[in-house]
Amino acid sequence: MMTIEKLMQCPDSQLPMRKATGEELDQLRARQQAGNLFNRLGRKVDVPITAGYVSEATQTFYCEVNEVVWLVAEEAISLTS
């Protein structure tokens, strides 16, 4: 059976993505609470960080909001900054 995880591809690299771990979500939430969570366009991220997907190739996080994953490269959040 095909699952969404098998279909998810990074918009930049076209490589597979995986569900974000609890630890990654916690780190993103901590950055958000500190006011230090921005997307690639430099806009502050204010949506609740509850789920999302990670691109290992680009070390970026794509938010899932209301069961919809935002696969817009400019909306990606760096995991390394």
* Residue 68 Cα distances to 33, 36, 79, 81, angstroms: 23, 24, 20, 24
* Segments forming the whole domain that contains residue 19: 4-78
Phi/psi of residue 32, each to 5°? -65, -45
Report pLDDT for 66: 87
pLDDT tier at 68, thresholds 50, 70, 90: confident
Number of domains composing the chain: 1
- Is the whole-model pTM more than 0.95? no
Report pLDDT for 1: 61
